[in-house]
Amino acid sequence: MVKKLVSAMFIVILTATAALAAPSIRIGALFAVTGPASFLGEPERKTLEMLVKDINSKGGIKGSIVELVVYDTQGDATKAVQLANKLIKNDKVVAIIGPSTTGETMAVIPIAEKEQIPLISCAAGIKITDPVKKWVFKTPANDHVAADKILIHAAKMKQKNLALITVSDSFGASGREQFKALAAKKGFKIVADEVYGPKDTDMTAQLTKIKAAKPDAIVCWGTNPGPALVTRNVKQLAINVPLYQSHGVASKKYIELAGADNAEGVMLPAGKLTVFDKLPAKDPQLKVLKAYDQAYRQEYNVEASTFGGYAYDGFQLIVNAVKTSGATPEAIRNGIEKAKKMVGVSGVFNMSPADHNGLDLSAFEMVKVSRGDWVLIK
């Protein structure tokens, strides 16, 4: 009996020692925590910190504690490049989650490719992963998927003549390109095509032209605050046609900035987190969405954000890759590329050598604003 007890204690000590001896896994993150894109970066940072805290409390990944190094890019591409180099060369991270925006991501991609470090972007621009880059992935669904979702609904509503207003940054330019190409293929007519600057504070000039074109609906493509201003201006100019927004504003912040009365009836493709409490019980994402929102509310006393979900999915892709393939940059890259049927916040991921996003139309639901909240469009 004594021998058995000593043996058992010896095994426990060996296990504990092995766990302590296991090298940590250092993951980097680049988020726009402050600045105009903070509505993206802040929930991304908070989500990642919450997840790392939780997994370390359970012993880490296969006995290895996760070290998280987060830098604030302020949404600036130049800073993102500097900080990406710092993460790789000084902090020796094995993977990077972020940046938050398409412009920053495009600037950082050459570094990730050159240094051979997996980069999992939290931005939506299709050019991030199309064409495929060996070391680059992303968790938001591609903007052409969002465009398709809008056009499918517009077709149902017999809205054939569309007006487009997009922000003149990387996200807006990509969305504009994808939307126009897809609309042409599907037989829609773009009767107005206007652009506004990221720092513009009034879009009445562009919207006055759009009103004169008499569209069946207006599609705005951008991230806040611009789309909220467009929404207000549409109301002020008494433009009485349906308004679609892109997935770039799929959070309560948009409704807050636009004003609930101004945003009433506005439609957009959104990740299922925005309406998870209205999903059918059989939805494959429901369990994950509920758990994420509950954990986030408990940690930060506020509801979880779709944008924070992008970081959630990036972290889960890395965790699963480490478990199945190993903790080196190359092993993580290979593991991410093999991810199949991984249920995340943004959708069900099916990665492959030809697809480093892994999401399809099922990642989005069409929603609209009703009484200051999101509801499903049936």
- Residue 378's pLDDT is 83
The model carries a pTM of 0.89
Structural domain contains residue 6: yes
Q: What percent of the chain has pLDDT over 90?
A: 91
Domain extent for 119: 2-142+287-361
Cα–Cα distance measured from residue 70 to residue 98, given in angstroms and rounded to the nearest whole number: 10
- Mean pLDDT score of the chain: 94
Same domain, residue pair 160 and 252:
yes
Structural domain contains residue 282: no
Question: 1: which 2 tokens?
Answer: 């009996």
Query: pLDDT at residue 38 above 50?
Result: yes
Same domain, residue pair 28 and 74:
yes
User: How many other C-beta atoms are found inside a 10 Å radius of the C-beta of residue 214?
Assistant: 11
Same domain, residue pair 23 and 90:
yes
Same domain, residue pair 164 and 254:
yes
- Residue 2's pLDDT is 42
Q: What percent of the chain has pLDDT over 70?
A: 94
CA distances (Å), 75 to each of 136, 140, 252, in order? 19, 17, 20
Same domain, residue pair 333 and 216:
no
Quickly state the pLDDT bin for 22 (edges 50, 70, 90): confident
User: How many other C-beta atoms are found inside a 10 Å radius of the C-beta of residue 14?
Assistant: 10
Same domain, residue pair 34 and 113:
yes
Cα–Cα distance measured from residue 163 to residue 43, given in angstroms and rounded to the nearest whole number: 32
Mean pLDDT across 365-373 = 96
Same domain, residue pair 38 and 78:
yes
Question: 142: which 2 tokens?
Answer: 């591609």
CA distances (Å), 371 to each of 110, 153, 256, 296, in order? 45, 21, 12, 24
CATH number at residue 150: 3.40.50.2300
Containing 142, the helix (H) or strand (E) segment is: none
Same domain, residue pair 370 and 222:
yes
Query: What total of structural domains would you count in the chain?
Result: 2
Query: pLDDT at residue 267 above 70?
Result: yes
Q: Report the length, in residues, of the chain.
A: 378
Cα–Cα distance measured from residue 313 to residue 340, given in angstroms and rounded to the nearest whole number: 13
To which residue do tokens 């991984």 refer? 342
Cα–Cα distance measured from residue 27 to residue 329, given in angstroms and rounded to the nearest whole number: 10
Give the pLDDT confidence of 123-146 residue by residue, as tens digits: 998 999 999 999 999 999 999 999
Q: Are 47 and 27 in contact (CB under 8 A)?
A: no
Mean pLDDT across 331-359 = 98
